[in-house]
């Protein structure tokens, strides 16, 4: 269960809103922070899960020391510290611990993801009004490392950010909100047949087609990520 009051979660949400993030983008940013900080949602140093002595030994063994991972997104390497400092008009190279302060940590996380500071890939390439590829979005931060785990977290955050997100629906479901699902699929250009409140094979096929078009797993199940994409369509 996601705790929307934990650590800097409220500040991250506020920064994401100021940056014009969609709910799905905010969900992925929060999921990234949760993963990178071992669920603390506060700025941490790399290897924060180890004892102090073991963590420092771990960090000193890295080729990029002392520019090891810090913050909400584990900023690493001297050129990334310099680049983030240039973007935010601050000096992060004289004292790299500066990025552990809440405000720069939040800005680096949110703006860095949205603007593509880390890998050259920006979050809107994968998560936007018309696409919701939570697994692919890991390329914004760190290739494909633990992409599925972070995508699963993003789905949980999306449901928490949209508490009115409709219940998960699959083939065989009847009644509310199946007609709404069918109507939204039709409006998005995917034909589920009549909005009759019966989730049959035709509706399932429309859900699969919609999911594939939006970069979601085409499993035919209308869960939080699919509802989120439909509500944003």
pLDDT at 233: 67
pLDDT per residue as tens digits for the range 29-73: 999 999 999 999 999 999 999 999 999 999 999 999 999 999 999
Question: Using one digit for the tens of pLDDT, what is the confidence trace for 87-134?
Answer: 999 999 999 999 999 999 999 999 999 999 999 999 999 988 767 788
The C-alpha atoms of residue 81 and residue 2 are separated, in whole angstroms, by 30
- Report CA Rg, the chain: 20
| pLDDT-derived band at 20, boundaries 50, 70, 90 | very high
Closest CA to 132 of 199, 71, 64, 210: 210
Mind listing the domains of the chain with CATH numbers? 9-161 (1.10.530.10), 178-232 (1.10.101.10)
Residue 162 is predicted with a pLDDT of 72
> 8 pLDDT band (50/70/90 cuts)?
very high
**Mean of the per-residue pLDDT values for the chain?**
91
* DSSP code string of 124-148: GGTBSSS-B-TTGGGGGTSTTTTHH
Mean pLDDT of 155-170: 77
Q: What are phi and psi of 108, to 5 degrees?
A: -65, -45
Q: Is the pLDDT of residue 224 over 80?
A: no
User: Where does the pLDDT of residue 13 fall: very low under 50, low under 70, confident under 90, or very high at 90 and above?
Assistant: very high
Residue with tokens 């009759």: 196
Q: Residue 203: what pLDDT?
A: 97
Q: At what angle do helices 78-88 and 102-115 cross, to 10 degrees?
A: 100
CB within 8 A of 130, min separation 6: which ones? Answer: 214, 233
Residue 21 CA to residue 207 CA, distance in Å, equals 25
Contact 150, 74 (CB under 8 A): no
pLDDT at 1 over 60: no
Spatial distance between the Cα atoms of 213 and 134, rounded to a whole number of angstroms: 14
What's the number of CA atoms in the CB half-sphere (13 Å) around residue 26?
23
- What is the average per-residue pLDDT within 189-217? 93
**Per-residue CA distances from 180 to 197, 199, 203, 206 (Å):** 8, 11, 12, 13
More confident residue, 1 or 198: 198
> Where do the DSSP E strands lie in the chain?
44-45, 70-71
Residue 105 tokens read as 């940590």
């Amino acid at each position: 269960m996601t705790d929307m009051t934990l650590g800097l979660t409220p500040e991250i949400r506020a920064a994401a809103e100021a940056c014009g993030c969609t709910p799905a983008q905010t969900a992925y940013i929060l999921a990234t922070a949760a993963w990178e900080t071992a669920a603390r949602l506060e700025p941490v140093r790399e290897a924060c899960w180890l004892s102090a002595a073991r963590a420092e030994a771990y960090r000193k063994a890295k080729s990029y020391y002392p520019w090891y991972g810090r913050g909400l997104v584990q900023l690493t390497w001297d050129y990334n510290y310099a680049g983030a400092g240039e973007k935010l008009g601050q000096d992060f190279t004289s004292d790299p611990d500066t990025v552990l302060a809440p405000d720069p940590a939040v800005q680096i996380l949110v703006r860095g993801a949205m603007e593509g500071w880390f890998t050259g890939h920006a979050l809107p390439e994968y998560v936007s009004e018309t696409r919701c590829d939570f697994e692919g979005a890991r390329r914004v931060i760190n290739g494909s490392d633990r992409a599925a785990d972070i995508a699963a977290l993003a789905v949980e955050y999306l449901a928490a950010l949209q508490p009115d997100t409709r219940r998960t629906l699959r083939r065989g479901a009847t009644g509310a909100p199946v007609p709404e699902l069918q109507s939204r699929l039709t409006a998005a250009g995917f034909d589920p047949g009549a909005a009759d409140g019966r989730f049959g094979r035709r509706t399932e096929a429309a859900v699969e087609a919609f999911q594939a078009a939006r970069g979601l797993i085409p499993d035919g199940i209308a869960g939080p990520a699919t509802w989120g994409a439909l509500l944003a369509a």
